Homo-oligomer: A and B are copies of this chain.
Amino acid sequence: MPLLRAQREAAASALPPEVLDYYDAGAGDEVTRREGALAWASYRLRPRVLRDVGAVSTATTLLGQQLAHPVGIAPMAFHALATEAGELATAAAAGRNGGLLGLSTRSSRSLEEVAAAAAEHGAPWWFQVYVMKDRSLTEALVRRAVAAGAGALVLTGDTPYVGRKRRVTGTRLSVPDDHFLVNLAPHFGERVAAGAAALSVAEQRAAAEQDPTIDLSTIRWLAEVSGLPVLVKGVLRGDDAVACLQAGAAGVVVSNHGGRQLDRSVPSALALPEVASAVREHVRQAGPLPSGHAPVVLVDGGVRTGTDVLTALALGADGVLVGRPVLWALAAGGAEAAQACVAEVVSDLAHVMALAGAASIAEVTPDLVHQVVPTV
């Protein structure tokens, strides 16, 4: 059995049903959740023959950050529900593989702890920002992420409200408050220390709810607060990608939030070509970022194999983010399993690059894929 499937099965045995459901659930009828992986498999590959692939390199650079491979870990909430060490394990897994870590605002461990683990294992990490109704909370968190060494911010653009999931009837109940407040508690404490009245847990939750009024101007605000590149996550359209870049973004993550937000959203594998093409055209007209780097297009949603990654790169992505499989791996065997999970995808990527006649990421070009109505 393939490793990722075995880890998924092990996780299904190991996790309490409500946690499994919390991670696994998609919004609505879960059409988009299911289509995530299937959409990658709707492309067919056009491998090249007789290319020298004696040495294959998966190395790449994102916003100037050199990486051993383009397979990052998607920012996801509450890793300690899967393994006790939580995001510390994930940071170790990312670092040992030489890849990028996405760290969620909603981590089970404080961002400073995770940053320390990431530094120990050499993992560059980007901080995923939920802009909360209480903007000062958001700002304080972002400043801490900068101080802790985040390489970029990833602004969640697709979650003005949490998507309605049928499988999860009491999400918040199932998530212990001490996880939820890990990164926020200090700030509520500071206010009390500064003489304000203590907030009830309900009031804290209200303050921490995402702000549905944010708009494109939020990108520049975050860039100014942080001094970091800001990517927007959840982009599924070319016009939105260009609008984000024009509003100061350093890139986008093509994503439908793993099918957890708007059901029947277009699969990211099908949205990617449009977004990548719009970004390319924008760069052709407007040039690179002020930093001199090229804007970044990442993609997540259903990436499970090296062939999925190869397809994503050929369709114009600069890198991919792997989500749920890392959680299953953490549940199945902690940091070691998560490291093996990413390593498996990377090893498979190198293998299929060779079989496709591509010795480097630069040689993974659009002509390697075309979409067909699948016959199987």
Q: Which residues of A contact B (CB under 8 A)?
A: 1-2, 28-29, 31, 34-35, 38-39, 41-54, 155, 157-158, 160-161, 163-164, 166, 211-216, 218-219, 232, 234-237, 239-240, 243-244, 247, 261-267, 270-271, 305, 307, 311, 348, 351-352, 354-356, 367, 370, 372-376
B residues in contact with A376, CB < 8 Å: 31, 34-35, 38
B residues in contact with A213, CB < 8 Å: 52-54
Do B261 and A355 have beta carbons less than 8 Å apart?
Answer: yes
Do B375 and A39 have beta carbons less than 8 Å apart?
Answer: yes
B residues in contact with A375, CB < 8 Å: 35, 38-39, 42, 267, 374
Do A307 and B28 have beta carbons less than 8 Å apart?
Answer: yes
Complex A-B: 13 CB contacts under 8 Å: A35-B375, A38-B376, A44-B270, A46-B271, A47-B237, A47-B261, A49-B157, A50-B243, A53-B161, A54-B211, A164-B348, A212-B354, A267-B375
Do A305 and B35 have beta carbons less than 8 Å apart?
Answer: no
What is the distance, in angstroms, from A351's C-beta to the closest C-beta of chain B?
6
Most buried by B among A51, A211, A216, A244: A51
The quantity of this chain's copies bound in the complex is 4
How distant is the Cα of A2 from the Cα of B263 in the complex, in angstroms?
Answer: 14
**Assuming the A-B contacts A163-B355, A355-B163, A356-B262, are A236 and B47 also in contact, with contact meaning beta carbons closer than 8 angstroms in the complex?**
yes
What is the distance, in angstroms, from A304's C-beta to the closest C-beta of chain B?
10
Nearest residue in B to A156 (C-beta to C-beta)? B49
What is the distance, in angstroms, from A353's C-beta to the closest C-beta of chain B?
10
B residues in contact with A164, CB < 8 Å: 348, 351
Do B52 and A215 have beta carbons less than 8 Å apart?
Answer: yes
B residues in contact with A166, CB < 8 Å: 1-2
What is the distance, in angstroms, from A223's C-beta to the closest C-beta of chain B?
14
Taking a contact as CB atoms closer than 8 A, the residue among B31, B219, B240, B354 that contacts A160 in the complex is: B354
How distant is the Cα of A376 from the Cα of B38 in the complex, in angstroms?
Answer: 8
Do B50 and A219 have beta carbons less than 8 Å apart?
Answer: yes
Do B355 and A158 have beta carbons less than 8 Å apart?
Answer: yes
What is the distance, in angstroms, from A325's C-beta to the closest C-beta of chain B?
15
How distant is the Cα of A107 from the Cα of B327 in the complex, in angstroms?
Answer: 46
How distant is the Cα of A244 from the Cα of B50 in the complex, in angstroms?
Answer: 9
B residues in contact with A311, CB < 8 Å: 264
Do B354 and A265 have beta carbons less than 8 Å apart?
Answer: no
Taking a contact as CB atoms closer than 8 A, the residue among B39, B240, B307 that contacts A49 in the complex is: B240
